[in-house]
Structure 1
Amino acid sequence: MIRRIGPTRLTLVATALTLAMGVAACRSGSADSSSSGSSSGGSSSSSSSGLSGEITVFAAASLKKTFTQIGADFEKTHPGTTVRFSFAGSSDLVAQIQQGAPADVFASADTKNMDKVSAESLTSGQPMVFASNTLEIAVPPGNPAKITSFADLARSGVKVVLCAPAVPCGSAAAKVEKSAGVDIAPVSEEQSVTDVLGKVTAGEADAGLVYVTDVKGAGDAVKGIPFAQSKAAVNSYPIAALKASKNAAVADAFVQTVTGASGQQVLADAGFAKAP
């Protein structure tokens, strides 16, 4: 026998079903809202530094060791960023920048080469001097040519390697020669200070003029001979973000790191002097 359901009971069933569907909908909405909030929170956390992406830093060869460390520290501080480097003589780097090479930051071993970049309005802001460096004589272990002074570099038979005049270390060497009244006849002129150091460590030269920091960084591979005349040519190192950078935020942050406390400590540990 079929039992008929009266109107009142139908109303009660319909009401119960409506309430059940409402509760289910509330629970579903609550779950979706929680998931969205968690996702949003995760996204905000992962980009909390606001920095990401890659930059290329053109830097003087004498900065290779320090900037490599500063770059590694920068990447740890700002996850999601990558800092790539191109190290060479400052004059070579300037020529590449002028020809449109993709670079975000330029650090020169002298103000003269930075001025060339600034004069063409290729920097995004005013360059900042972040360190200074002076020349020192580097000789092989044991000092076979018995070099004891700057004047000894002009002795007959002494094989000396210098940087080319267009390179900051070569320009500094020329200033010191003029100031000291000493005329050195190098057996070769190199395009970067690291190339000069390489000639000395390979035993291809009796002496080379490099920076104090290069001698310190080479450890036992060379012996450094300080000389008073080096004060005639103190090189100031400027840095600037470049206008053509496709990642200006990271470029500016890297410049701030170099000029800030952490970068300055790395430079000081390597033997660089503070900016004059």
Structure 2
Amino acid sequence: MTRVAGAVAAVLLVPGAATACSPSSDGGSSSGRGDARASGELSGTVTVFAAASLTESFTTLGERFEEANPGTGVTFSFGGSDSLAAGITSGAPADVFASASPGTMKIVSDAGDAAGTPATFVRNRLEIATLPGNPEGVSSLEDLTGPKLKVVLCDREVPCGSAAQTVLDAGGIGLTPVSYEQDVKSALTKVGLKEADAALVYRTDVRAAGDKVEGVDFPEAAEAVNDYPITLLENAPNAEAAEAFIAYVRSEEGQRVLADAGFLTS
């Protein structure tokens, strides 16, 4: 069964992992597979560190990959891309890293922990998340500066926070949030719990939240469309199965799952 680890520190080295094979030149990120089934027999656990905004879509992809490859399991650790990168460079055992920005992927590449060249597999853009029904009548980025409006942002060190600062700068808007959150899910949760009136988050997270929040698009979001790169990690305990999982993420079927979640796939 696909498992989700709550934090980087909770991910344990999986005993009995398959012997690693030599990584491909593009980090095992080859495309063109039509489904989740890989050629040959795969076994063991694939440990994936992935940006929090990938939680729902990657959980689905992991389940489908396991169904098509009965000898495998996929374990996820979702969180802020910067924290995940720090965990990898500190030696946390993992097979795959999927980041919400090239900048956080570069941390891993520069440390020599990426096998090959990371490949962009989707893109994402921001939306304003409001309470259901949008009771404050937020219709633009500038509306977030209202004196009574409680707004939360992602921490500036994580991709969603960096993107938020980019769009605010693009709009010439100065905004002091009531809090900075460690990842996009934490920011969205503040709105869902009615602890904030609005948040700048990814549109995929607004979609995943269903009727708990309402999304408001704004033109400045086009100034900060984030590329999401993925890579096989240099010391992957189960490189063969990890390469197959990356190939599935980039396959037509994998891209459909991601597009249904609201990601930009072309």
Report the TM-score range of the alignment, normalised by the length of the smaller protein: 0.7 to 0.9
Shift of 1:144: 2.5
**Residues 111 and 238 in structure 1, CA contact (< 8 A), matched pair in contact too:** yes
Aligned length: 229
Among candidates 197, 202, 206, match of residue 215 of structure 1: 206
Q: 1:153 aligns to what?
A: 144
Code of the residue aligned with 2:227 in structure 1: it is S
1:176 aligns with 2:176: no
Tell me by how many angstroms 1:174 deviates.
0.6
Equivalence map 1:116-131=2 (5 Å)? 116-131=107-122
Q: How far 1:96 moved relative to its partner?
A: 0.5
CA distance in 2, matches of 1:75, 1:236: 26
How far apart are the structure 2 equivalents of 1:82 and 1:97? Answer: 20
Q: Deviations over 1:103-144 (max 9, x none)?
A: 110000011000111111111111110000000000011222
CA shift, 1:145, in A, is 2.1
Q: Residue 48 of structure 1: CA displacement? A: 7.4
Change (3 A) 1:48 1:222: closer
Q: What's the CA shift for 1:50?
A: 2.1
**Moved segments of 4+, more than 4 Å:** none
Q: Secondary structure at the match of 1:165?
A: coil
Q: Which runs of 5+ in 1 are unaligned?
A: 1-46
Distance, in Å, in 2 between the alignment partners of 1:128 and 1:65 is 21
Q: Greater relative contact order (Cα 8 A, min sep 6): structure 1 or 2?
A: 2
Q: Which has the higher strand share?
A: 2
3-state secondary structure, aligned to 2:108: helix
Pair 1:199 & 2:190 matched: yes
Counterpart residue number, 2:231:
240
Q: Deviations over 1:190-220 (max 9, x none)?
A: 0110001100000000100111111111111
TM-score by length of 1: 0.81
Q: Which residue of 2 aligns with 1:262?
A: 253
Tell me the TM-score normalised to structure 2 length.
0.84
Give the 3 Å change call, closer, same or farther, for CA 132–48 of structure 1 in structure 2.
closer
Which residues in structure 2 correspond to 1:129-144 (within 5 Å)? 129-144=120-135
- What does 1:1-276 correspond to in 2, within 5 Å? 49-275=40-266
Identity %: 52
**Amino acid aligned to 1:185:** T
Q: Secondary structure at the match of 2:200?
A: strand
Distance 2:206 2:244 in 1: 30
